[in-house]
Structure 1
Amino acid sequence: MATYPTADQLLVVIDPVARRTDGESVRIAKDVLSAGAASTKVCLPEGPEEFARVLARRGSRRPVVIGDDLTLLRAVSLLHRRRELAGCALSMVPVGVTLSLARSLGVPIGAVAAARAVLEGAERRLDLLVDDSDGVVLGALRIPPLTPPEDPTEAEAGAEGARPWLRTCQSLVRTLVPPRPSRITSAPPSPGPARLRVEVDGDTLVDLDQPVETVSVVPGGSGSAAVEVRPLSVGAEAAPLLARGRRVTVSGADFRYRADSAVSGPVRRRTWTVWEGALGLTLPVG
């Protein structure tokens, strides 16, 4: 892992929703970053196009995004489509309601801790899943899509009164705006079993004649993905089918899937490939 001196030059990109929902955390993060870096340029984009322009014109500055999981996904997707991830270490200060992805990747939750990790942390290379439409998955892929579990950050904020209602409504609105062009919908309620063919590195793990309840694919961190298929159980619970591989293809009747926080589809066939070490993310040392 590459470590960074505190004399780094930073480009701090603050998501507009983060500014509106938790301006105090944003202010604290800016103060810590400005005090610790040799030079800090702060940008306040008002929309996706301006967000993309700011990242594209970052020059030699190390980008730091302040926002929620969707902000991180948008930044990674933009850098991936420009084929600039290999030479760019991305940093994040999580601010918002939906932070489960950031937490799962090891980013500290809390403005001070996350900002200090930006200054004192190290670049860790993480695997990505990239599909055949150039979409990226950082955390997990699931078929059929389910509504994501409640984020603990929201539960902790519940005592603040009316403010969480505003945060929740804004977060729900944001889920309708995709970080990349895609057919994004809300998850269908109570999905039933599906008939899908799941192939891992060319070998069939399950075929169309066996209904399945869920399929999940998670980057494994070693150039391969962990694949789990849960067959439809009748009576006793069926044992999950497990496999690891670099390339996963799912095909069958029209299906939707949840990639991180976005629901896409319907599609009849999609292939995901592991890109080993594609994302450089600044995380705490140790």
Structure 2
Amino acid sequence: MLPEDSEKGRTLSARDQLLVVIDPVARRTDGESVRIAKDVLGAAATVRVCLPDGPEEFAKALVKRGARRPVVIGDDRALIRAVGVLHRERELTSCALSVVPVGAAQTLARALGVPAGAVAAARAVLEGVERRLDLLVDDRDDVVLGELRIPPVVSAASGGGAAVDGHPWLRTCQSFVRTLAARPSRVAAAPGPAPARLRVEADGVLVVDLDQPVEGVFLTPGDGGFAEVEVRRAATGSEAAALRVRARTVTVSGSDFRYRADAVVTGPIRTRTWTVRPRAWGLTLPDRP
């Protein structure tokens, strides 16, 4: 039996019942926007608020949501985490996810069509419509919602962040060594990123092999069950044209490459395969013609 709203004297539908999961980063960084979003949602729906302390509690709240529509208040990482949880639980097809972006990282949410501002985003949760979107899933069962890119290799001499991700002590040592070794009259400029040697296959067809250095590889979920793939070859003599294809499955292999999927950097790895899942997940967005 559906719960009844005693003030309005009406029976609440499943759409009126929300599980609002507030990411801890959002609570710390912008409590005022969180409060505004809660007020807007609570004025028009029955809201159960969950305040998880970490990823485990965040996942548990989504899994045990019952018939309530899940709403995430948080940044891009919170949105990615929510889609990943629902995908691993095989529940993406049974619900539409909603998000109110709060926090510094909102690029992905904006690109997907979520309005800016706590009030506009909360109203879209209440008044919007579900739109089914394609999803990239890799061979580890991780998901990609937006752009995936494989950057060129960064040499140790260039001090690029991709080579030292997650190791502050190594960045400090490199900085110290560069300071001691700096001799402008004798030392040449540090080399920039070197082209990567990668093998890229799209639906089993070879796009580029290890003998053709590339400046980068880009994948995005397109529409109709295909990923948009762009391979930027390293220029040799004249500017090399980018190769663009559409594929359902993309495999990239090479020697210890890293990639950035949405907001997360992964690697180094030697091979990875991504497969498009057509219309795999639903996001509540403003109802626009």
| TM-score of the two chains, using structure 1 as the length reference | 0.82
Match of 2:225 among 220, 223, 227: 223
Q: Distance in 1 between matches of 2:200 and 2:36?
A: 47
Asked whether 1:94 is paired with 2:101, we answer yes
Aligned to 1:54: 61
The one-letter code of the counterpart of 1:253 is: S
Aligned to 2:150: 143
Aligned to 2:138: 131
| SS in structure 1 at match of 2:232 | strand
The one-letter code of the counterpart of 1:86 is: T
Match of 1:282 among 272, 284, 289: 284
Match of 2:30 among 15, 22, 38: 22
Aligned to 1:115: 122
Q: Deviations over 1:162-209 (max 9, x none)?
A: xxxxxxxxxxxxxxxxxxxxxx94599953211111000010011111
- Confirm or deny: 8 A CA contact 2:152 2:194 kept in the other structure: no
Mark the CA change 1:116 to 1:6 in structure 2 (over 3 Å): closer, same or farther: farther
TM alignment of 1:257-276, pairs within 5 A? 257-276=259-278
- Confirm or deny: 8 A CA contact 2:152 2:214 kept in the other structure: no
- Confirm or deny: 8 A CA contact 1:201 1:246 kept in the other structure: yes
| SS in structure 2 at match of 1:278 | strand
Asked whether 1:69 is paired with 2:69, we answer no
Asked whether 1:240 is paired with 2:242, we answer yes
- Confirm or deny: 8 A CA contact 2:124 2:286 kept in the other structure: yes
Deviation at 1:16, TM superposition (A): 1.0
The one-letter code of the counterpart of 1:247 is: T
Match of 2:39 among 16, 21, 31: 31
Share of identical aligned residues, percent?
69
Q: Distance in 2 between matches of 1:21 and 1:190?
A: 35
Q: Distance in 2 between matches of 1:7 and 1:82?
A: 21
| SS in structure 1 at match of 2:93 | coil
The one-letter code of the counterpart of 1:28 is: I
| SS in structure 2 at match of 1:90 | strand
Task: Decide which structure has the larger Cα Rg and report it.
Answer: 2
The one-letter code of the counterpart of 1:17 is: V
Asked whether 1:11 is paired with 2:13, we answer no
Deviation at 1:235, TM superposition (A): 3.3
Q: Distance in 2 between matches of 1:191 and 1:90?
A: 39
Asked whether 1:78 is paired with 2:80, we answer no
CA RMSD of aligned residues (A): 2.1
| SS in structure 1 at match of 2:239 | coil
Deviation at 1:5, TM superposition (A): 7.3
Q: Distance in 2 between matches of 1:47 and 1:190?
A: 38
Aligned to 2:52: 45
Equivalent pairs counted in the alignment come to 245
- Confirm or deny: 8 A CA contact 2:97 2:284 kept in the other structure: yes
| SS in structure 1 at match of 2:207 | strand
Mark the CA change 1:264 to 1:5 in structure 2 (over 3 Å): closer, same or farther: same
Higher relative contact order (CA 8 A, sep 6+): 1
Q: Deviations over 1:30-81 (max 9, x none)?
A: 00000011x1101111111111111111000000000000000110111111
Gaps of 5+ in 1: 147-183
